[in-house]
Chains A and B, each alone.
Chain A
Amino acid sequence: MKKIMLFIMTISLFALPLNGCRDSNELEDLALVMGIGVDLTEDEHPLVSLQVFLPQGSGQSGGSQSQSKGAGGANQSFIATESGQSIGDAVNKIAKRMSRRVYLSHNAVLIISERMANHRLREVIDYCQRTQEIRQRTLLFVTREDMPKILNYESVLEKTSSISLLKEEEKHLNLITTIRDVSLMKTGPNKPIAIPVIKLRRDSYDPREQVTKIIGSALFTDEQMVGMMNSERTLGILMMNGDFRNNTFTFKPKGRKGKLSVNVQDIRIRAVPTIDRGSWELSIHLSGKGMLQENTTTLNPMNPVDCRQIEKQTAKYLASMIGKGFKQSQCVGSDVYMTYEVFERSYPHECQRARAHWATVYPNIHLSVHPQIQLMHSGASNS
């Protein structure tokens, strides 16, 4: 025991001046980064904006020349912006002028401007994978808005805009892309990636505030943005990848007046790929459950015939939704549906041969969807 104590004592005594504690930082010496925005300047240099948390006790300390909206308000953050040769360089410049250490571990979102996304997504992904401080669960977004503006908008409910974005994602209504998802998707041929796109929108009834809204998802091929898919079609990607939880679809049944709102949940997918003499076919067997939420048509869900009708219409709607999205992705050649993996599992050799020229194979894949929706109940109403 004496030895332990002696050991502990000597180590402690020697270590204190030896600054073994180079890695230590007091909490009050950290500038907690809540969100990162990456934009491109006019002369093609990355422009990084960091949303830094402003502790309430601290008054004016922190970055001075930031476009702060003033402490003490509901918004507890300020934005620091700097451009540099690379993302790392820009972050380093911010760190130099900040009185505290820039700490990225609590960063929740990473917003990429469209200009950056168009050609230079690679740099962003590389920086994120290499920097140990950035978490794998960091959410990625693409936006067309002005970067500081979207980071700096004031959320009504949450402390910072980043947190409100984070919470919005937790609802699983939209595509979620984390850094790990990107590194997974990157492994496919052509490196197809899908990242949600957000937009700032003025709330029409509460003039104080703006809200961010996810308006769709950006599609990438070879780490270049090639197109955008709208919000509804994105749900098709979610369904195919098994990330779909539930959503209410509203549509007009064929040949009827009025509209149906059906909440679809518990979607299960079985994909059957076939390669038949050079023609690639993928048939999707989709089964799910539905709940009728609103019914302004004359169909009576309690009636077996009408009930089948509703189920069929819902299924058809879903099939067309998936089909349209798939078509669109084929047009831009971005395999965000991960069809390559599906084919590879059944036809490893053909796929390896096709891997090099996947860009030509993918647009010719024929997709057929066979949906099957079961209406579980139609609410508390008996009609």
Chain B
Amino acid sequence: MIQSERISVFQFYLPIFVGIITTGVLTMPLVLYQAAEQNLWLPLIVGSLSGYVAVAVVSYLYHCYPQQTIIEILQQRMGRVIGTGCALLLILCLVLQGVYITREYQMYLSINFYLYMPPFILIGLLLAVVLYAIRQGIEVLVRCAVLFAPLILGIHLLICILIIPELSPYRLLPLLDHGLLAPLQGTLAPIVWFSQFIWCAFYMPAVDVPAKKMFVSGCWFVLATTVALLIIFAVVISFLGDATVQYLYPFDMVERYVQITGILERSSVLFMIVWLLGIFVKVASLLFILNLAVAQTGRGMRYRKTSIPVTVVFFLIVLALFPTNESLQHEGRLVLYLCSVAGNLVIPLLLVIFLLIFRKAKGKTRMQS
């Protein structure tokens, strides 16, 4: 299925970009501020290196096997047993990352808007729409991302502009008051977030570009993500300063404080709307690749046929894990970090190293599938 669809390289990276911005804006300021205070730009920039690594891995895999997804490459090049094992591990990591993201969405809504609505309805609603979307295929998904991206970025920008009268940029100072190393303790969070660019490797065959172009535009996307997050974090810190740590969702606070001509305030619901658009893109692309990975791991399974069982099982897993905010913030985050590092960085990097050796041993003969 994935081989018959065609998307451009811009659309290829866009869902990941939108997803990182959406979830990053909500939870990252708090995590980063706890570690690095006003110097959080440093861990963010250092952490974004993992994005470049991920893009490089994707581009290299694409360079070697442009017609295969990472799951297929794993299974065909690393032997049946090891390959399938690695694929299953990847799927597990994807599921757990997805659980964290979905729970994060539900917590945000439960805390801020729907105090009494049962979580399974909130999660079920999102997953129902996501299920409908992923059955339409990757082309439709990225088209939605193309439509939503300007809206999401536009509203975030609008909030940043409207809050300008309340900002005090001096809160960004002093620079590096604890030295260079202390802020770097917070690098793990951005590494985890940026490593999500590896998700592109799960739908590589849908694009048709030279690998070099893919790498270059991927780097531009990582850079754009970094810059967008930097701007938003700068706004958050200039607004809240040291009080950033007092709030669970600092950017939401910024948004809540916006006032347009004294009438339109408390418009945080508008922020919720664009945030929902973003989380939809993120969860949909994640479930899409999860589903595709499952379909490809179990050979001969049809993508459309697995979509419903995969979504339902995912739904049940989400309901079972991290029911409270406390568990989400501690165990959930630990699991997220572990799975992201293992699934998004370690396994793909191992695959790349393996391929480098393997291909060298085979000489210069190009393997074409």
B121 at the interface (CB under 8 A from A): yes
A180 at the interface (CB under 8 A from B): yes
Within 8 A of B (CB), among A122-143: 129, 132, 135-137
User: Shortest beta-carbon distance, A103 to chain B, in Å?
Assistant: 12
Contact B116 A23 (CB under 8 A): yes
B151 at the interface (CB under 8 A from A): no
B246 at the interface (CB under 8 A from A): yes
Closest partner residue, chain A, to B112 (CB atom): A132
Within 8 A of A (CB), among B151-190: 168, 170-171, 173-174, 177-178
Contact of B266 among A11, A105, A348 (CB under 8 A): A105
Q: Categorize the interface residue count of chain B.
A: 20 to 34
Within 8 A of B (CB), among A165-184: 170, 180, 183-184
A100 at the interface (CB under 8 A from B): no
A17 at the interface (CB under 8 A from B): no
CB-CB contacts of A152-172 with B at 8 A, as 1s and 0s? 000000000000000000100
B262 at the interface (CB under 8 A from A): yes
Q: How far is the CA of A184 from the CA of B125 in the complex (A)?
A: 37
A residues within 8 A CB of B174? 344-346, 348
Contact of B128 among A11, A20, A22, A136 (CB under 8 A): A11
B residues within 8 A CB of A129? 246-247
B residues within 8 A CB of A135? 256, 265-266
B114 at the interface (CB under 8 A from A): yes
B residues within 8 A CB of A137? 257, 259, 265
Query: Known contacts being A184-B240, A187-B242, is A7 close to B112, with CB within 8 Å?
Result: no
B220 at the interface (CB under 8 A from A): no
Q: How far is the CA of A4 from the CA of B173 in the complex (A)?
A: 52
Contact of A180 among B168, B177, B253, B265 (CB under 8 A): B253
Closest partner residue, chain B, to A349 (CB atom): B177
B358 at the interface (CB under 8 A from A): no
CB-CB contacts of A341-366 with B at 8 A, as 1s and 0s? 10011101100100000000000000
Contact A23 B253 (CB under 8 A): no
Contact A7 B121 (CB under 8 A): no
A15 at the interface (CB under 8 A from B): yes
Q: How far is the CA of A349 from the CA of B241 in the complex (A)?
A: 18
A13 at the interface (CB under 8 A from B): no
Within 8 A of A (CB), among B104-118: 111-118
Contact B116 A22 (CB under 8 A): yes
Q: How far is the CA of A351 from the CA of B77 in the complex (A)?
A: 59
Q: How far is the CA of A11 from the CA of B120 in the complex (A)?
A: 13
Q: How far is the CA of A95 from the CA of B112 in the complex (A)?
A: 20
Contact of B246 among A11, A18, A132, A183 (CB under 8 A): A183
A45 at the interface (CB under 8 A from B): no
Contact A186 B243 (CB under 8 A): yes
Contact of B115 among A15, A23, A184 (CB under 8 A): A23
Task: List the 6 closest pairs (A to B, CB-CB), nearest first.
Answer: A348-B177, A187-B242, A22-B116, A345-B173, A183-B243, A348-B174
Q: List 11 A-B contacts (CB under 8 A).
A: A4-B132, A7-B128, A11-B128, A18-B121, A20-B118, A137-B259, A187-B243, A242-B168, A341-B241, A345-B170, A348-B177
